[in-house]
Structure 1
């Protein structure tokens, strides 16, 4: 005799009353896309899969997805694309739908996935980029990536978005300022933008400001420095923009100005987000090299160290933050014999992009992905020079600012066409 099928109420009771470890074991095997779909199955799953206690640890388990940028722009055709380091596939995260400022035919890409980068037709006659023209041409730009959220702009439209859940908040136009950082104000749980206004000139020193995303209020704070700071190390001349040199937040400190330069005594500029003052920290002994920060799942800071056209690179970890103790985690020797395409490249730059030691090599025509043993995993042919600056870790957490009414002057309709996941309920 067949056993009776379980009642619907029994299934709902299991979902509601199962231990936390059971739920975590189930959902950690699912992508954010499928977790969003499960919310639609029944009320019991929706209530459980919207709970922050379950979603918070899931965010830390998501693999880092480096975002691809071409010059100052996030993409040549308004797509935001990422590389999934686990599957090795390029993913279209979302795209802007605004057409103003562009004269090319979009080929009606609305509603489709972005074409794979290695399928693009390369026009070598247009590979040379005029930098001055790039500064004024309307472009889709990624200014920051933090906690699964992105700070993006297109023309004068600025938005704070979660591409996994399709939540977004419009921000005021920040084009006339230099945005240098995006961070969480830990004590209040608010997200804020650090920017400055100035002319990059000693006679007109920069004045820094903080924009509160929730209230859209910009406060200027001057150039406050910590009493422990030896001097301002050229703080009045401004800081590299986040779209070029992304900062990393560690606890309440935002780390800016990379790479450390001789004019700053090779120090790392740090902004205390609670005291709203600047200070400096020392990096490991890696002067005159290509360096970039990354974050470990444990919350520690990491540092990728490499040189242009060199096959050896390192991954360091700031093991003791207070005493500035750096520890070498990996020394990676690239298997250049597996990469003959680099022989025709005048300039290529390797960088460690994950705590596991994944390496991406940027060049004029190629993006190469290697493991921590230096072996080539995959390669992508590119339409133009690529830069890997920001890393996205998807999150299903819904920040409270997404539930607040839109501010005066906010954009009425989204400027995005979502691609990477289904809408949440």
Structure 2
């Protein structure tokens, strides 16, 4: 077909057409002509592509400072794992991140930083456009000990990208280190594109999870926390209204049978509590109506005794959590920050998956659901110090 045909198409039709292509094909399309390159760099194209693209996965492992991103082919066939994902990009973080630690992903951007009591450098990165922003430091000194919780997400209505950091100063028993009470609580929010941190009302105390990162889902951040009596709660921060609220987990999990055995994740469109406290099974609870404790349902159960793979790694001594549910009900999961595996909901079996660059027994594996985006940080946030890498 004559290239003039595409040149004469209205921009909105060209954007709609190009945004439906695989990511690596779109990258090649930028080289076809200047008009396509300029179109692909617009916010309109980035929004159109993000609304249509299938989710993928970002992975880092061990002490490697390399990240790899894959695009899922959402037609699962357990006989040939290599067909389930396509490589999108990989990069070394040495060029722009001093204290490398991948924390979360939201709408195409990655959040890096160390969650600790002393303020550390925080970075927002778009791996597809190879741009990053180092957020400005906030000059705040806290007395020890402190509990620190942070999160990164996008508000539902205005679409603003926000970083949240909550610090609880507390008093602990000097012998048992049990949390006794809070002495101060401070919350700061950074809206990308403003250049400043803002102090807001912190809401109810978070509980005894010392350093944690919030789960982003549908315009809110969620943390699984424990009160002074040992009861579990879920703390929610609405990124649009910037108001905190709390609600309980499934009734059976209001008190954990084994400390540290619960993982809170976003699974598809639902908030999920993954229960690893049993020696016999891994149970995934989904909240079908956000904030409604009666809507918790037990959707998936992985029996450890049915899996040679899971039995070989200690059963309840290890923590597994889901990343993605495929169209046929099969689940991609991570075990003990060491392995990625599939759970087949049809056959009730588990199968390890060795994606390129992920090696077993290294430890420190981080795998997050990630939707690649062509959003230009330089164009979208001109006030920020955006740098390439």
Q: Shared fold by TM > 0.5?
A: yes
Matched residue SS, 1:62:
coil
The answer to whether the 8 Å contact 2:63/2:364 transfers is no
Cα shift readout 1:55-95 (whole Å, capped 9, x = no counterpart): 435325322315345xxxxx403222456654357876322
1:12 aligns with 2:7: yes
1:37 aligns with 28
1:250 aligns with 218
Counterpart CA distance in 2 for 1:221 and 1:335 is 44
The structure-2 alpha-carbon separation of the partners of 1:398 and 1:76, relative to structure 1 and needing over 3 Å to count, comes to same
2:300 aligns with 331
1:112 aligns with none
Counterpart CA distance in 1 for 2:274 and 2:368 is 17
Q: Offset of 1:39 from its aligned partner? A: 1.9
Unmatched 5+ residue regions in structure 1? 1-5, 70-74, 101-137, 226-231, 417-425
The structure-2 alpha-carbon separation of the partners of 1:51 and 1:91, relative to structure 1 and needing over 3 Å to count, comes to closer
Q: Offset of 1:37 from its aligned partner? A: 2.0
Unmatched 5+ residue regions in structure 2? 74-83, 143-147, 172-180
The structure-2 alpha-carbon separation of the partners of 1:284 and 1:68, relative to structure 1 and needing over 3 Å to count, comes to farther
The answer to whether the 8 Å contact 2:186/2:199 transfers is yes
2:264 aligns with 292
Mapping of residues 377-416 of structure 1, within 5 Å: 377-380=351-354, 381-388=359-366, 390-398=368-376, 402-407=380-385, 414=388, 416=389
1:320 aligns with 2:299: no
Counterpart CA distance in 2 for 1:66 and 1:261 is 33
Counterpart CA distance in 2 for 1:324 and 1:220 is 30
Mapping of residues 216-255 of structure 1, within 5 Å: 216-223=195-202, 225=203, 232=204, 234-235=205-206, 240-241=210-211, 244-251=212-219, 253-255=220-222
The structure-2 alpha-carbon separation of the partners of 1:67 and 1:7, relative to structure 1 and needing over 3 Å to count, comes to closer
Counterpart CA distance in 1 for 2:379 and 2:15 is 27
Mapping of residues 59-98 of structure 1, within 5 Å: 59-60=50-51, 61-68=53-60, 75-81=62-68, 86=73, 87=84, 93-97=90-94
1:210 to 189, 205, 230: 189
Q: Offset of 1:171 from its aligned partner? A: 1.2
Q: Offset of 1:294 from its aligned partner? A: 0.8
Q: Offset of 1:363 from its aligned partner? A: 3.6
2:318 to 321, 324, 348: 348
1:369 aligns with 2:342: yes
The structure-2 alpha-carbon separation of the partners of 1:335 and 1:63, relative to structure 1 and needing over 3 Å to count, comes to farther
2:276 aligns with 307
Range moving further from structure 2, 195-204 or 171-180: 171-180
2:130 aligns with 166
The answer to whether the 8 Å contact 1:267/1:283 transfers is yes
2:108 to 139, 148, 162: 148
Matched residue SS, 1:45:
helix
Cα shift readout 1:253-279 (whole Å, capped 9, x = no counterpart): 3222x2666747422111233443321
Counterpart CA distance in 1 for 2:239 and 2:162 is 9
Counterpart CA distance in 2 for 1:405 and 1:345 is 50
The structure that is strand-richer by fraction is 2
Q: Offset of 1:145 from its aligned partner? A: 1.4
Matched residue SS, 1:354:
strand
The answer to whether the 8 Å contact 1:65/1:392 transfers is yes
Cα shift readout 1:307-337 (whole Å, capped 9, x = no counterpart): 2575634444433236444253732435865
CA-based RMSD of the aligned residues comes to 3.9
2:80 aligns with none
The structure-2 alpha-carbon separation of the partners of 1:215 and 1:23, relative to structure 1 and needing over 3 Å to count, comes to closer
Q: Offset of 1:149 from its aligned partner? A: 0.5
Counterpart CA distance in 1 for 2:18 and 2:42 is 15
1:195 aligns with 2:182: no
The answer to whether the 8 Å contact 1:309/1:349 transfers is no
1:267 to 225, 233, 249: 233
1:283 aligns with 249
Matched residue SS, 2:319:
strand
Q: Offset of 1:165 from its aligned partner? A: 1.6
Counterpart CA distance in 2 for 1:185 and 1:365 is 32
TM-score, scaled to structure 1: 0.66
TM-score, scaled to structure 2: 0.71
